Chains A and B, each alone.
Chain A
Amino acid sequence: MSDMALKQEDVRGEPPVNLWRDAWYRLKQNRMALTSLVIILALAFIAVFGPWLTPYDFLSQDLIARNQPPTWAHPFGTDELGRDVLSRVIYGTRTAFIVAISVTAVATLIGIVLGALAGYFGGLFDRFVMWFTDMTMSVPQLLLVVVINASLKPPLARWMEAQYLETLNPIYRNSIIIDFVLVFGSMALITWPPYARLVRAQVLSVRNRPYVTAARALGLSTPVIIARYIVPNALGPLIVAVSAGLGTAMVLESAFSFLGIGVNPPMPSWGNMIADGLRVWRNYPHLLLAPAMMLALATVAFSFLGDGLNDALNPKGQK
Chain B
Amino acid sequence: MAGEKPQEPLLNVRDLSIEVATRNGPARIVDGISLTVDKGETLGVVGESGCGKSLTMLSLLGLLPNKISVIGGSAIFKGRDLLAMPHRELRKVRGGEIGFVFQDPMTSLNPVVRIGQQVMEPLLYHRNMSRAEARKRAGELLKLVGIPGAEERLDNYPHELSGGMRQRVMIAIGLACDPALLIADEPTTALDVTIQAQIVDIVKELRAKLGMSIVWITHDLALIAGLVDRVVVLYAGTVVEDAPVDVLYENPAHPYTRGLLASIPRLKDEGAEKLSSIGGTPPEPGRRPAGCAFAPRCPIARAECERAAPALEPLKGGGPHRVACFAAGEIAEAVA
Q: Which residues of B contact A232 (CB under 8 A)?
A: 110, 112-113
Q: Is the CB of A218 within 8 A of B113?
A: no
Known: A11-B160, A12-B152. Contact between A228 and B173, CB under 8 A? no
B96 beta carbon closer than 8 Å to chain A: yes
User: Which A residue sits closest to B103, measured CB to CB?
Assistant: A210
Q: Restricting to B169-208, which residues have a CB under 8 Å from any CB of A?
A: 170, 173, 198
Q: How many B residues touch the partner, as a band?
A: 35 or more
A155 beta carbon closer than 8 Å to chain B: no
Q: Which residues of A contact B170 (CB under 8 A)?
A: 214
Q: Is the CB of B108 within 8 A of A216?
A: no
**Distance in Å: Cβ of A160 to nearest Cβ of chain B:** 44
Q: Which residues of A contact B294 (CB under 8 A)?
A: none
Q: Which residues of A contact B103 (CB under 8 A)?
A: 210
B126 beta carbon closer than 8 Å to chain A: yes
B81 beta carbon closer than 8 Å to chain A: no
Known: A7-B162, A19-B112, A233-B110. Contact between A218 and B157, CB under 8 A? no
Q: Is the CB of A210 within 8 A of B112?
A: no
> Once bound together, how far apart are the Cα atoms of A19 and B125, in whole Å?
27
A135 beta carbon closer than 8 Å to chain B: no
**Distance in Å: Cβ of A219 to nearest Cβ of chain B:** 4
Known: A16-B155, A16-B157, A229-B110. Contact between A217 and B91, CB under 8 A? no
Number of interface residues of A (CB under 8 A): 29
> Once bound together, how far apart are the Cα atoms of A220 and B126, in whole Å?
9
User: Which A residue sits closest to B170, measured CB to CB?
Assistant: A214
Q: Is the CB of B112 within 8 A of A218?
A: no
Q: Which residues of A contact B320 (CB under 8 A)?
A: none
A221 beta carbon closer than 8 Å to chain B: yes
Q: Which residues of A contact B58 (CB under 8 A)?
A: 213
Residue-by-residue, is B67-104 near A (CB-CB < 8 Å gives 1, otherwise 0)?
Answer: 00000000000000000000000011111100010111
Q: Which residues of B contact A12 (CB under 8 A)?
A: 149, 152
Q: Which residues of A contact B125 (CB under 8 A)?
A: 218-221, 224
**Known contacts A211-B109, A224-B125; can you find 16 more A-B pairs with CB under 8 A?**
A7-B165, A8-B148, A11-B160, A12-B149, A16-B155, A16-B156, A210-B102, A210-B108, A214-B108, A215-B110, A216-B61, A218-B94, A221-B125, A228-B113, A232-B113, A233-B111
The 3 lowest CB-CB distance pairs between A and B, nearest first, are A219-B94, A218-B95, A217-B100
